[in-house]
Structure 1
């Protein structure tokens, strides 16, 4: 997607040259016919942003479903990622090229370092990321699961602008510092697990707010992301829920509503990458 789409109901934000639809379809653990059905439902609902990764083992399935849809390539935004075991420069570039070949739709719109690794110097990792862009495997580059101290280091080492940092984010996890850093640097903050896990949608406070607004709890949380300027990539295989997740443009949360959701953050809110990353720097 080289410019804002006219077919999607969701706003598109600009992040260091990348135009990213604020709601996308996460595809982790979706494969084969299940993924094809989810993609079909998503496209029909107006999604144009699709998130995959080598680690998900579904890049080829996603590409096949998107190609079969008949939707023009330049209306889509496709993100993929290089896994943390593949960050040596030669391996990184080989994996980036293989991802593009599996998807089969030309360069990715956004290529991310999936997780940082203590086994590779950051200069080598970011150098390989930038080289992947120069070699035409992706239009834009970014990182994933980078806390503030590592994101600052990545920015300082990159010879091209980073367009995104994809991290866990939902009302139970305070990401204020990282959000503010991304905004200052013109980087999109992309939230995975945006509607949480571990029972967030069953939280009585969230259910009460959803009832007040006549919406589903997931719609309330996704609207909370949207109003912060965050990109969210909820995963679902259910066509009805896929459609509901993007039907969030006809209502707004008040400042008080936003504060109620923000107040749900708690110290044990993080659920992913607890043993892999020094989140506190």
Structure 2
């Protein structure tokens, strides 16, 4: 049975990082200090991510490597088969955290979870996680899985604050990993972030990331540009005060960027 997982306070998203230039950026990110790397079968870049890990020279055990099963690979046979293919592309012996990328629309995931638990038992993955799961889906998954569901990766940022989900998952001891933490670049349009950035002489992007960390979630901003990578990692040195957090908490606009009718569940918000 998988045990609790200790995740870094910030990770590195890798969606679209599938070129030689992107690989060099990932290596630079690792050099800067990122150890939590997030990829997916659907990103078509697991090979690049694995090569970046190897070329960095950092010992494997220092990394938390997460990838995601795509929705067409949820049958037990395909869970096993495609995870082994992911391992082959990554060039790794094990995956630290394997996500279900989206919930099954019919909610039938018991056999999927059984197969993932077999991967845990066989030592091919260490932990089971999910992505884009609602409160009902996460509760069902926890009840069905022999191993604890350690994380739920969801869209979270100042325009989609996930207040109820944060409280709910905290009680269940499930980490929230935040994708799109920089709001697809819209952070520049958020006056509250700009005000706090000027106050602390930091960037609005850093304010958004620091707020997510302050709320107890783990942002995984995507970048392969050295200056942006450094700015993102330096967020670990930033601590917002109570007034800053309260100001961002007061934002009432709600905007979800990842909403796909074919695969999205009925969201809690």
TM-score, normalised to structure 1, is 0.90
1:46 paired residue among 19, 33, 38: 33
Residue 279 in 1 paired to residue 263 in 2? no
How many Å separate the matches in 1 of 2:164 and 2:137?
A: 13
1:55 paired residue among 30, 42, 52: 42
How many Å separate the matches in 2 of 1:140 and 1:201?
A: 36
Normalized per residue, the structure richer in helix is: 2
SS at match of 1:247: helix
How many Å separate the matches in 1 of 2:21 and 2:253?
A: 34
Kept after mapping to 2: 8 A contact 1:35/1:62? no
How many Å separate the matches in 1 of 2:69 and 2:176?
A: 18
Aligned match of 1:107: 94
Kept after mapping to 1: 8 A contact 2:187/2:205? no
Shift of 1:253: 0.9
Aligned match of 2:256: 270
How many equivalent residue pairs? 266
2:117 paired residue among 119, 124, 130: 130
**Aligned pairs for 1:1-281 within 5 A:** 17-119=4-106, 121-197=108-184, 199-267=186-254, 269-275=255-261, 276-280=264-268
Shift of 1:266: 2.2
Shift of 1:137: 1.8
SS at match of 2:98: strand
SS at match of 2:92: coil
- Structure 1 ranges of 4+ moved more than 6 A: none
Give the unaligned 5+ runs of structure 2.
none
How many Å separate the matches in 2 of 1:251 and 1:94?
A: 43
How many Å separate the matches in 1 of 2:252 and 2:70?
A: 29
Shift of 1:124: 2.0
How many Å separate the matches in 1 of 2:25 and 2:185?
A: 23
Kept after mapping to 1: 8 A contact 2:179/2:220? yes
TM-score, normalised to structure 2, is 0.94
How many Å separate the matches in 2 of 1:207 and 1:72?
A: 39
- Provide, for residues 234-281 of structure 1, a one-character-per-residue CA deviation record: whole Å limited to 9, x for no partner: 0012110011001023332112211211222423x1111341211139
How many Å separate the matches in 2 of 1:256 and 1:22?
A: 22
- Tell me how large the CA RMSD over aligned residues is: 1.7
